[in-house]
Amino acid sequence: MSRQVAPLQIGGIQVWPPLVLAPMSGVTNRTMRALYKPFGLGLTVTEFVSCNALAYGSKRTMEMIDQHGLEKPVATQLWGDDPEMMAQAARVVRECGADIVDINFGCPAPKVTKTNGGSACLRDPQRCEAIMRAVVAAVDCPVMMKMRLGWSEGALVYEEVAKRAQEAGIQAVTLHARTARQFYKGSADWEHIARLKRAVDIPVIGNGDLDDAQVALQRMRDTGVDAIMLGRATLGNPWLISQIVDLMEGRPAAPLPSSADRLRFCMVHYRTMVQELGEARAVPQMRKHVALYLKGMPGAAILRERIMHIDSGDAALAVLEETIARLESSSTAA
């Protein structure tokens, strides 16, 4: 068997496989990243953090950039609209162990864009360039950048911003193929990603609607991108990561696990979150994860409703154990 794609090279860091876990606010904490890394991710990215919040050094913000040391290499993603503040934040996260600094020009959430951060920066490509130059000059590690197509359909600036990024010393760019105004509606347009790959010489990472292993690899081949980034599709289904790695390494994709085995891993996820975050924080966070692990299973809607009203980790785990027993009993009877 031989590799079907080449490693991703970001400055002096080689990433294999060329498969990146997207930064997701409130989701990709160090616990979740460490649990998902063994499925085959080549690069993980922290939750995106505000450069202004880092300046205050709050405990919550510092937790967001914390690492286990199990996921090298790891990138830390920053957002903000002030070049000097972004540079200061980059120095902080580099000192805290980031192998790569990632700049966020992609988040469409109002809490970010109302202060001109995230995808709102794309309304001013010159400001984007100033931020990128400041961050590159501030750190001794590779800097990458993630963006959307533009603020709106009538203002697609991704090629211009990527060319400015290349000139500023950015060493890789990720494109989520929707506009900021789209949020997650409609479909990601991978033709724009292919166009960007032809327009710049630095590595391009494609992102958007990759929820099938065969489709993901085909989009990588069709567009010529250097890597792909997975986000929401992995939640409750980290086995998608393994399937894509199988294909990248020239193997048939392994079948997805049984519903019972999915819930066994969900229980590992649940216990680990409680151990690391404490029950008061872990239980509310795990509700959304459990709902995703349950997706497509018989009686999922009723089980989700039960989990949503449980405030105890032990009680939630008991429901999962009960569900596993019922699934296996049904399978044996069949």
**Whether residue 107 lies in the annotated active site:** yes
CA distance 165 to 159: 10
Determine the 3-state secondary structure of 45 from DSSP.
Answer: strand
> How many helices and strands in the chain, by DSSP H and E?
14, 11
Q: Which residues pair with 144 in a beta bridge?
A: 102, 172
DSSP string for 93-147: HHHTT-SEEEEEE----HHHHTTT-GGGGGG-HHHHHHHHHHHHHH-SS-EEEEE
Q: What are phi and psi of 269, to 5 degrees?
A: -60, -45
The answer to whether the CB of 221 falls within 8 A of the CB of 200 is no
Catalytic residue among 51, 96, 107, 141: 107
How far the first Cα of the chain sits from its last, in Å, is 37
Q: Which residues are catalytic?
A: 107
